[in-house]
Amino acid sequence: MRDFVYFSENAEQMLERAVSLGFSELVLVFAEKNMVEKDNILKNSKIVLKTAIMLPEKSFAKLQKYKKIFDYIIAEGTRKAFETKQIDFVIPDFTAFKDHTHYRQSGMDQIYAKLAKKNNLTVLFDFSLLLESKNKQSMVGRMMQDVALCKKYKAAYGIASFAKTPSAMRSSGDFSAFLRTLQ
């Protein structure tokens, strides 16, 4: 199983923590402003190390350049991201919407689920957003709604910690148990 974490100066500690938590692959996520050359990243024989970039929507013009540099491209769940085939993972934005009286606004609908299936995108849920949220119950409800849509339209989905510190990382067993509860 793989986990996604934000790249920081304590990347070595995150690698050790990922090995102890039972992950076989760790993906270091870079923001556009703190990119580091692939050769300067730590090497570890116990775990497969990959790189990804969190691509803002305004930087989609640089997509081809980043596809050559990084292993994965991650984008926020906008319509443009779901329509782009070069993107590997999409993170739905749960914080941008206010719920209506009779239904939740999760930021994803059947059109996005169909586009995710068509373009081979994986919908990734950010576990750190849930941990930092003040309204956890509505966040879990939105995740459940998105998982139901992904299952219905056979789109791939997963969960990752997106931790900024080693202590914020969770084990692969925790993630698989949480995904089972979302289903």
pLDDT tens profile 120-153: 999 999 999 888 888 888 889 889 999 999 999 9
pLDDT over threshold 90, residue 107: no
- The full set of domains in the chain, from first to last, is 2-182 (3.20.20.140)
Mean pLDDT in residue range 171-180: 90
Mean of the per-residue pLDDT values of the chain: 86
Residue 106 CB coordination number (10 Å): 24
What's the pLDDT at 89? 95
What's the pLDDT at 96? 64
What's the pLDDT at 97? 67
**DSSP for 14-74, written as a single string:** HHHHHHHTT-SEEEEEEEGGG---GGGS---TTSEEEEEEEE-GGGGGGHHHHHHH-SEEE
pLDDT tens profile 3-52: 999 988 888 888 889 989 989 999 999 887 776 665 566 666 678 889 89
Mean pLDDT in residue range 87-116: 81
Are 37 and 51 in contact by the 8 Å Cβ rule? The answer is no
Are 82 and 108 in contact by the 8 Å Cβ rule? The answer is no
Handedness of CA 122, 129, 137, 78 (dihedral sign): negative
- Residue 122: which of 65, 63, 179 has the closest Cα? 179
Q: Which residues pair with 50 in a beta bridge?
A: 27
